[in-house]
């Protein structure tokens, strides 16, 4: 592996997708055992318009998350390596498409992790906007409420995650673009780079003259533009890259 692109990089933007969490037991979406691959009908439950219009779809959504592997998941070697890189003094900003909170659990500073697609650890009311921890709502689902409503206003509750057809928070995307433009290196780990506008952060980094390195099992639309594409398993590649960056 030629890692000249690591020379002198002290500000690193890291874009992570579902592939970084598969070693923690959380399935990705589009892989051979992915969520959409195994049950294409679930896409409806993750589409904002369908979710808001149909209580049965909301019930499917809540059932899916009630027993989700994310609740028991633990950070893996890649999450820990990125947290260690930050502790070692490298200016690391994590831009994650994941909603599992594993970067923070691994030790990455919450203020250094930008959750582009939200978090499963909060519930938001689509009526009054109140945010609450997820566990009490899941407990209601477990007790038999298939379509829990907001205790304050009776509005529809949803996890604080971005569903298909729902816009990302413009403040969050604006901050992500600034981070991509001002970091000296962009690492992409475990993302298919098929979801916009997040994937275009790669273009932001490259247009600012920064190298793009992709660590992913499958091809992405940005592979031809990267200075290096690494197909090696994420759990092995990321700790080695972080160890090298930590010596800069």
DSSP codes, 80-128: HHHHHHHHTT-EEEEEE---S-HHHHHT--GGGEEETTEEEEEEEETTT
Tell me the torsion sign for CA atoms 75, 21, 107, 185: positive
Q: Six-digit token pair at 240?
A: 């080695």
Q: Which listed residue (117, 121, 182, 210) is catalytic?
A: 117
Please report which residue ranges of the chain form alpha helices under DSSP H.
Answer: 35-38, 42-45, 48-53, 55-66, 77-87, 102-106, 134-142, 170-182, 201-207, 234-245
Report the distance separating Cα 30 and Cα 39, nearest Å. 11
3-state secondary structure 142-156: HCCCCCCECCCCCCE
Residues, the chain, total?
248
Residue 215, SS3? strand
Which stretch of DSSP H or E encloses residue 191? none
How far, in Å, CA of 204 to CA of 217, rounded? 23
Q: Verify cis geometry, omega within 30 degrees of 0, for the bond prior to 174.
A: no
Cα–Cα distance, 146 to 128 (Å, whole number)? 20
Active site residue 121: no
Catalytic positions:
117
């Amino acid at each position: 592996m030629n890692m000249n692109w690591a020379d002198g990089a002290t500000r690193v933007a890291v874009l992570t997708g579902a592939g970084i969490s598969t070693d923690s037991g959380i399935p990705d979406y589009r892989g051979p055992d992915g969520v959409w691959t195994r049950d294409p009908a679930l896409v409806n439950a993750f589409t904002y318009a369908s979710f808001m219009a149909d209580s049965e779809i909301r019930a499917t959504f809540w059932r899916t998350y009630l027993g989700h592997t994310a609740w028991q998941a633990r950070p893996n070697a890649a999450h820990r390596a990125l947290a260690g890189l930050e502790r070692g003094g490298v200016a690391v900003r994590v831009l994650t498409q994941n909603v599992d909170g594993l970067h923070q659990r691994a030790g990455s500073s919450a203020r250094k992790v930008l959750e582009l697609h939200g978090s499963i650890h909060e519930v938001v009311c689509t009526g009054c906007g109140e945010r609450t921890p997820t566990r009490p709502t899941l407990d209601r689902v477990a007790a038999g409420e298939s379509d829990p409503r907001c205790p304050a206003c009776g509005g529809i509750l949803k996890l604080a995650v971005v569903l298909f057809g729902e816009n990302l928070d413009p403040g969050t995307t604006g901050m992500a673009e600034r981070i991509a433009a001002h970091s000296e290196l962009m690492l992409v780990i475990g993302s298919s780079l098929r979801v916009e506008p997040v994937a275009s952060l790669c273009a932001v980094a490259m247009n600012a003259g920064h190298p793009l390195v992709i660590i992913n099992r499958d091809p992405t639309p940005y592979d031809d533009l990267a200075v290096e594409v690494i197909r090696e398993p994420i759990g092995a590649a990321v700790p080695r890259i972080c160890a090298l960056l930590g010596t800069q």
